[in-house]
Amino acid sequence: MDKLIGPIIAVILVLVHAGLLLWAITGLLEFHPDWTRTNVSNPLFSPAMLLWQWLIVAATAVVYLALFAIHSNRLPETMAIFYGLLALTCVYQTFFILEHPGRFWQLALEIAEYTVILLILFHMPWFQRWQGR
């Protein structure tokens, strides 16, 4: 079962992180005054918060894709650090910037997503073999 499910989950996680990278690049492009094609940045966030958000999302995606590609045995620990930074950023945004009523559910969902991915990276046998552990 693991030999079938593992590669499917691996592809999903690669696609998710590739999507995150494209989202972050789009957000960074919005800093250019002539860029008018998209509007993915939250207008409640300051330019400094947006820059931090897009840079940390881009860095997380690039690091995941790179470490996964080279079969790094440090992928889970490294992603725990990056997901922790993303979670802290989301907590700050949720408690001090965002105003909509669903923000706490969104925070819970985001943290649950990071938790599930880390459980997969740390404990799923297919990923353990992929990482050479």
Contacts of 9 (CB under 8 A, 6+ apart): 120, 124, 126
Question: pLDDT tens, 61-72?
Answer: 999 999 999 999
Q: Rounded distance, CA 70 to CA 46, Å?
A: 36
Kindly report the number of other CB atoms within 10 A of residue 77's CB atom. 13
The string over 67-76, giving b where at least 16 C-beta atoms fall within 10 Å of a residue's C-beta and e elsewhere, is bbeeebeebb
Confidence tier at 89 by pLDDT (50, 70, 90): very high
Q: Where are the domains of the chain?
A: 2-130
Kindly report the number of other CB atoms within 10 A of residue 127's CB atom. 20
pLDDT value at residue 69: 98
Question: pLDDT tens, 33-62?
Answer: 898 898 899 999 999 999 999 999 999 999
Confidence tier at 2 by pLDDT (50, 70, 90): confident
Query: Is the pLDDT confidence value at 1 over 80?
Result: no
Q: What's the average model confidence in pLDDT over 13-34? A: 96
